[in-house]
Amino acid sequence: MADWAAHAGDNAGLPFAVIDKVDGRIFMYDAQGRLQAAAPALTGAAAGDQSVPGIGERQIAAIRPEERTTPAGRFQVRMGFTPKGEDIVWVDYDNAVALHRVVTHVPQERRLQRLASKVPQDRRITYGCINVPADFYDNVVKPAFAGGGVVYILPEQRQPQELFGPGAGALAGR
């Protein structure tokens, strides 16, 4: 996927990330498509490649388990803040999907343990956001996306070329 993005110029000369929901991983690349770092990532608890219409306008408590998807696609990202003032990377602002430090305020969710798990399915827990280790966010994601960037979230139910174009499927390896 990264080869395609850089070769096709789809990343518009910006740093980018590839999120693999199936394997629960994030891969960060510089603007030329060179791998900078990789880490485990928590993604939406439910399988799916689209957000439920209007989900970004709902209270988190009103989001049903089957609606907790991380949408697939290409997203132009920008830095932003939560209502509590914490910095995040907005992936899909309208659908309230962000890339941010792992959330640990609900101990029974065991998000730190899930990040450390070797089982990709263990990393399916969020309401749709992408959670990464705090040090990875602070040292890799935040500096890379300070001036903007692109995030590619690989589909799990569709073919990559459906979202990214004909050349993406062969290069994405799916």
The per-residue pLDDT for range 14-52, each reduced to its tens digit, is 999 999 999 999 999 999 999 999 999 999 999 999 988
Average pLDDT of every residue of the chain: 92
Burial 56-73 (b: 16+ CB within 10 A, else e): eeeeeeebeeebbbbbbb
Report the percent of the chain where pLDDT is more than 70. Answer: 97
Distance of alpha carbon 71 from alpha carbon 85, whole angstroms = 25
Nearest to 136 by CA among 147, 145, 128: 145
Q: Label residue 172 by pLDDT band (50, 70, 90).
A: very low
Pair 40, 67: CB distance under 8 Å:
no
β-pairing verdict for 149-153 and 16-20 = parallel
Instruction: Report the pLDDT value the prediction gives residue 170, as an integer from 0 to 100.
Output: 55
pLDDT band of residue 158 (cuts 50, 70, 90) is confident
Q: 16 Cβ partners below 8 Å, 6+ apart?
A: 2, 5, 28, 29, 31, 33, 149, 150, 151, 152
Q: Which domains does the chain have, with CATH numbers?
A: 2-172 (2.40.440.10)
Whole-angstrom distance, CA of residue 34 vs CA of residue 102: 25
As given in the structure block, the two tokens for residue 44 are 């939406």
Higher pLDDT, 144 or 162: 144
Q: What is the pTM of this model?
A: 0.92
pLDDT at position 169: 57
Is the pLDDT confidence value at 174 over 70? no
Q: Decide: 46 and 68 in contact? Cβ < 8 Å.
A: yes
pLDDT(108) > 70: yes
Beta-ladder partners of 98: 90
